[in-house]
Amino acid sequence: MDVKKETIGFIGLGIMGLPMAKNLIKSNFDLIVYNRTKSKTKELSELGARVASNPKEVAENAKCIITMLTDSPDVEQIILGENGVIKGIQANSIVIDMSTISPKITRNINEELSKHQSSLLDAPVSGGSWGAIEGTLSIMIGGSNEDFNTCLPVFEAMGKNIIHTGSSGMGQTTKLVNQILVAGTMNAVAEAMVFAAKSGADLSTTIEAVGGGAAASWQLNTLGPRLIKGDFDPGFMIKLQQKDLRLIIESAQELNVAIPGTSLVSQLFAGLLSQGLGDEGTQALVKAHEQLSNVKARI
C-alpha cells in the first residue's frame, strides 16, 4: 500500500484526535472521519474531510484507519462491535490504534483483524494536547516492520519521535512504561513543593534553582510553575492518568511485577477523584500532599 495515495480513516475526534486529524489534512492526506458526537466533525468537514455515519462506513472507504479513543472497551467496541470497523474492512487494511489501552486487548484485536487479512499497529502517544496541535508527539509503535514502514508518512504528519518498539502490544507496553515515569515524577514534584512550602522556601526560586540540574524534568519545569500558581487546567486530566495507572496495575499483576511507587500514586489520585477533581490536570496531585501536611504550596 502507498499510504500517501490512500484515503485515511480517522475515528475519535477528542482533545487529541481533532488536532491530529487536522495535521493529516495539513500534510495533504485525504480523510474520512467518524465521531460519536457528530458536532466535533464540523471543523474537519469544513477543511474537506468526508464524514461517515459509523466506523463500518469508514472502513469501507479507507484501508488505513486511525482510532483515538478513551479506553480498551471503547476501542473494542469501535473496531469489533456492531457497525464496527471489522464489519466493513477491506483485505490488506491497517488499523492504527493511537489510544492508550491494554497491551493484552491490543493483541486480541490484532488477532481478530488478521482473520480478515488485515492488521493492527498499536501507536500510543506522549506529548499531550500541545504535542497533538504542534505535530510533535512521541509515538511508540508495536506491530510488524512492514506495517510500520508503510504507515511512517502518516506518523510523520503527527509526530516527531517515532519509534518502532516491537511486535503487537509493545507500543502500549512502552506507553505504560512512560506513564510509570510520568506519574512517579509528578508525585515527586508535588511532594517536593509541599516540603519546600512548609520549610518556608520561595517556591519560584526553588524551581529555578533545581530545574536546571539533575532534578530537571518536564513535570518540574513545565507543570511546577503552574502548580505553584494554582493553575490546575488540564493538559492531561487526572481521570485519564488514573485510567493509565489502572492499565499498569493490571499488567503488573499479570506479569507478577511489584510496582509499589506507581500503586501509591494511584491511591493519591483515587483520593482526588473521590473529591470530584478528575477533570483537573495531573499537577493537582499537589492537593493530596497539601492535605496530608496541612500546608498550601502556592505563590
Considering beta carbons, is residue 203 or 220 the nearer one to ligand NAP? 220
Considering beta carbons, is residue 177 or 292 the nearer one to ligand NAP? 177
The answer to whether residues 174 and 140 touch, using CB atoms and an 8 Å cutoff, is yes
**CA–CA dist 201, 177 (Å, integer):** 33
The least CB distance from residue 98 to ligand NAP, in Å, is 7
Cell numbers linked to 141: 509503535
The least CB distance from residue 160 to ligand NAP, in Å, is 14
Considering beta carbons, is residue 15 or 181 the nearer one to ligand NAP? 15
> Active-site residue among 22, 56, 63, 175?
175
The least CB distance from residue 78 to ligand NAP, in Å, is 6
Residue 26 known to be catalytic:
no
The least CB distance from residue 81 to ligand NAP, in Å, is 9
The answer to whether residues 203 and 140 touch, using CB atoms and an 8 Å cutoff, is no
The answer to whether residues 220 and 211 touch, using CB atoms and an 8 Å cutoff, is yes
Considering beta carbons, is residue 183 or 203 the nearer one to ligand NAP? 183
Considering beta carbons, is residue 69 or 207 the nearer one to ligand NAP? 69
**CA–CA dist 45, 47 (Å, integer):** 5
Q: Which residue has the cell 495515495?
A: 5
The least CB distance from residue 159 to ligand NAP, in Å, is 11
**CA–CA dist 64, 180 (Å, integer):** 31
Residue nearest to ligand NAP according to CB distances in the complex: 14
The answer to whether residues 121 and 171 touch, using CB atoms and an 8 Å cutoff, is yes
Dihedral sign for Cα 238, 240, 244, 250, please. positive
Cβ partners under 8 Å of residue 255, min gap 6: none
Question: Site residues (CB under 6 A) for ligand NAP?
Answer: 12-17, 35-37, 40, 68-70, 74, 77-78, 99-100, 125-126, 128-129, 235-236, 240
| Active-site annotation, residues | 175
